[in-house]
Homo-oligomer: A and B are copies of this chain.
Amino acid sequence: MAEKILLKGNEAMVEAAIEAKCRFFAGYPITPQNEVPETMARRMPQVGGTFIQAESELAAINMIFGASAAGARCMTSSSSPGISLKLEGISYIAAAELPCVIANVQRGGPGLGNIRAAQGDYFQAVKGGGHGDYRLIVLAPAGVQELYDLTMKAFDWADLYRNPVLMLGDGLLGQTAEPVVKKKYRPACKLPKKDWALTGCTNRKSNVVKTLMLGSVEALADHNRHLVQKYKKIESELSLVEEYMTDDAELIVSGYGMTARIAKGAVKNARAKGLKVGLIRPISVWPFPTDTFKRAAEKADKFLVVEMSNGQFVEDVKLAIECKKPVEFMGVGGGWYPTPENVLEKIETVLGG
């Protein structure tokens, strides 16, 4: 039987990355993600990898650009304000179609805010916080084991689509310790050759990795058309979602990450009380599991979205169901989080309403 070990979310992410052959990490400290660089600093040298405590968030993300351009499996992580500092670099990496994994262990905002868990960076993550029309693949695990499993796959999907993958967690997920079954790395897909990488050019045509596209007037528009096609392909192939008791549900509760897990507890309790409630939890928030929501909207009467923010994810739910059913919202930013009891109470209000 597989051995379970107790790991904090932040630590599990590191172990998964190392197991998935990530060998380059550059980062800068910020609470509540500090166990990521701390653990990377210890683990990377053990496997012949490189850990760099960069001089700034900007330095870190640009080192990731460089490492990825050179063909390395690489990762960086931070928390909300640190991710904001990385956004220029993230746009560059997405533009250059470089694979990498970025973790955002969200904290309370805006500004310096506080170090409690929050989900105020959803728009930044899925709509493109940086400039230009790029997309990140955004994964939002709801527990340490899932975080471990998805982090491993994140590297494969990043390589498959030549696109950055963002692990969208929060302080709760990062700091919670849970038993984890460590797994042998097996690629989640057939990995393409990195024949575009800057590996030192001998006996081949020179590779170029760039984001400045001056050439012809249409060069950059064409690149955007190409990106749009790629993003459509990702949307059609990679959409992850958990559905729970939605078949006969009159009310669908939704949320992502740790909030959805809390909400699931409420849904269970509601069912125990005989209320017809189900849950949809997007595991990938981009691509968004639109079809699942669409199907659910045909049967359910109402939706309830719970977020640790002032309301961001709720917009994507409305767009997914084309506003065909009313969508209630429950949430506050800045470190507030709901209990199963809070959510159950809200469920009863909404159903009663």
Binds B, one of A262-270, A330-338, A344-352: A330-338
CB atoms of B111 and A96 under 8 A apart: yes
A97 nearest CB across to chain B (Å): 10
Q: Is A151's CB within 8 Å of the partner chain B?
A: no
In the assembly, what is the distance between CA of A37 and CA of B213, in Å?
A: 25
The residues of B that contact A210 with a CB separation of less than 8 Å are: 112
* Distance between A196 CB and nearest chain B CB, rounded to angstroms: 15
A109 & B131 in contact (Cβ 8 Å cutoff): yes
CA distance A128 to B80 in the complex (A): 12
A214 at the interface (CB under 8 A from B): yes
Mask for A100-119, Cβ within 8 A of B = 1, else 0?
00000010111111101010
Is the pair A111, B87 in contact by a Cβ cutoff of 8 Å?
no
Chain B residues contacting A87 (CB-CB under 8 Å) are 84-85, 87, 129-130
Asked if A113 contacts B211 (CB within 8 A), the reply is yes
Contact of A121 among B52, B131, B214, B225 (CB under 8 A): B131
Q: Which residues of B contact A200 (CB under 8 A)?
A: 42
Interface-side segment among A184-192, A249-257, A271-279, A318-326:
A318-326
Q: Give CA–CA (A214, B112) in the complex, Å.
A: 10
A110 CB to closest chain B CB (Å) equals 3
Contact of A224 among B85, B121, B318, B332 (CB under 8 A): B332
Residue of B62, B114, B213 touching A334 (CB-CB under 8 A):
B213
Residue A212 is within 8 A (CB to CB) of chain B in the complex = yes
Question: Given A323-B323, A323-B324, do A224 and B334 touch, yes or no (CB 8 Å)?
Answer: yes
Whole-angstrom CA separation of A284 from B11 in the bound complex: 45
- Identify 12 residue pairs between A and B in the complex whose beta-carbon atoms are under 8 Å apart, listed by A's number: A81-B91, A92-B110, A92-B112, A110-B128, A112-B210, A113-B132, A114-B214, A217-B335, A221-B332, A221-B336, A225-B332, A319-B323
